[in-house]
Amino acid sequence: MADTDELPISIVLPAGGTGERFGNSMPKQFCSVLDRPIILYTIHNFHTLSFVKHIVVVVSQGYVDYIEELVESHGYNKVMVVRGAQTRHRSIYNGIKALKSVLEPSDVVLIHDAVRLFVDESVIQEVAEASKETGAAGVHRPLISTVISPDDCGYLEESLDRNKYRASEMPQGFIFSVILSAYEKATDYDFDYGTECLHLALKYAGTKARLIEGPHNLWKVTLRKDIYAAEGILKENEMQVQVVGCSDTELVTCLQRDLGDRRLKVTVCESKETCDLVDTNCTVYYHTQFDSDAVTDITENLIKEQKKDCHTSLRPFMDKVVVHVIMSDDVIGCCRKGREVMQENSKSWRKKHLLVYVVLCEMKTKKATISEMVTSILWTRDPVMHGQTYMALDV
């Protein structure tokens, strides 16, 4: 495969759909996952790739200003926002036309759904190379369910052999002249009822697409339940937990077990002086007694480390989380002190994208109970509960 740095590509992200199957007043591409809109993850995924030169986001008129403010606030300078249309093909065509002033006929354009958060760089590269060679390319996946056809009365008429068919997925790639010509020749019927871009390239540009089998993570958010799946995948892929300064081997063992059951990556560091927090977005600190200054200093240092984080993955794109586990025989007194610290600092920490929680534990509290609570806090990472103090008590 050729070096993709020598093959600049552009991306068209149709995001003008209303999400009727999603069942929500807000289109699914703007719904939040981990406190950020879905479309932002998709844009970020492409924007970090050096060989992606232009990203056209096509949205309905009512969301143009919203997207423009969103991409500007995140510094996405490759993004161009274009107004969509009533149907998918018409919206994509608007995105294609927006690239006419910046692309040559032989350049490569990829079309990808805004609600497909997860696409590997290797897939993007493979589709881009294949479309450069053949004029068009797309990915597919095996069908999960058998496809049947009912008659006019609602009775089974035909059952297709699913081994002969595939589910068309995204991204799909094209030579710019191919996809532009296909849309220029498409009929009103195609624009009103069609959904398959590869078929337009075949029908109107005479270009037979090369099909590439894609990985399982090319699914898109379609139904409300998919929001939870997307959240789980993001957490599983991106959350790395570091346990710092915990001298209690039993608690460490419990944390490794419970966090591992969630498929989260866990590392253990003896002290805060020797740990590296740049590549860690979840940190658990262990204290043998409550120290307001220590809690504040540690948290402020995390913010400083966060500013140094220049990784291009989604990890710095998510809020960082810190949980202070404090062992004490006076949890009531510590709770009062913890509340004072949180009231003084929590708003400032939240604005700096740091979620802070305190777990107070009696010395006699079972380590398994503490571990379960800490794991639940990390996995849930609820921003509404940021700044709260929890008591881990055996009852």
Tell me the sheet residues that pair with 37: 32
Residue that finishes a domain, picked among 205, 230, 255: 230
100, 216: one domain: yes
The C-alpha R_g of the chain, in whole angstroms, comes to: 25
177, 303: one domain: no
- Peptide linkage before 37 cis (omega within 30 of 0): no
CATH assignment of the domain containing 309 = 3.40.50.720
Number of domains in the chain: 2
Residue 114 has pLDDT above 70, yes or no: yes
Instruction: Give the per-residue pLDDT at 315.
Output: 46
**Range in 40-44, 83-87, 289-293, 305-309 the model is least confident about:** 305-309
Residue 255 vs residue 307, higher pLDDT: 255
Residue 276 has pLDDT above 70, yes or no: no
Residue that finishes a domain, picked among 207, 230, 253: 230
Give 161's contacts (C-beta < 8 A, 6+ positions apart): none
**Range in 30-39, 124-133, 274-283 the model is least confident about:** 274-283
208, 243: one domain: no
132, 225: one domain: yes
Task: Indicate the pLDDT class of residue 184, thresholds 50, 70 and 90.
Answer: very high
Tell me the sheet residues that pair with 110: 11, 173
281, 371: one domain: yes
Instruction: Give the per-residue pLDDT at 224.
Output: 85
- Half-sphere exposure of 62 toward its Cβ, with a 13 Å CA cutoff? 7
Residue 364 has pLDDT above 80, yes or no: yes
Task: Indicate the pLDDT class of residue 17, thresholds 50, 70 and 90.
Answer: low
124, 219: one domain: yes
Question: Angle, nearest 10°, between helix axes 331-351 and 292-308?
Answer: 20
CB 99 within 8 A of CB 11: no
Please give the model's pTM, rounded to 2 decimal places: 0.79
145, 170: one domain: yes
Instruction: Give the per-residue pLDDT at 1.
Output: 44
pLDDT 10s digits, 315-360: 446 688 999 999 988 888 888 888 888 889 999 998 888 899 999 9
Instruction: Give the per-residue pLDDT at 4.
Output: 46
| Residues of the domain holding 282 | 239-392
Distances (CA, A) of 283 to 245, 246, 294: 11, 12, 15
206, 308: one domain: no
CATH assignment of the domain containing 185 = 3.90.550.10
42, 114: one domain: yes
207, 291: one domain: no
Give 218's contacts (C-beta < 8 A, 6+ positions apart): 116, 118, 119, 123, 139, 141, 169, 170
Instruction: Give the per-residue pLDDT at 313.
Output: 43
pLDDT 10s digits, 36-69: 899 999 999 999 999 999 999 999 999 999 999 9
CB 60 within 8 A of CB 94: no
271, 127: one domain: no
**Range in 149-153, 295-299, 366-370 the model is least confident about:** 295-299
Task: Indicate the pLDDT class of residue 312, thresholds 50, 70 and 90.
Answer: very low
Tell me the sheet residues that pair with 107: none
Residue that finishes a domain, picked among 198, 230, 262: 230
333, 362: one domain: yes
User: For all residues of the chain together, what is the average pLDDT?
Assistant: 88
What are the tokens at 155? 């009775």
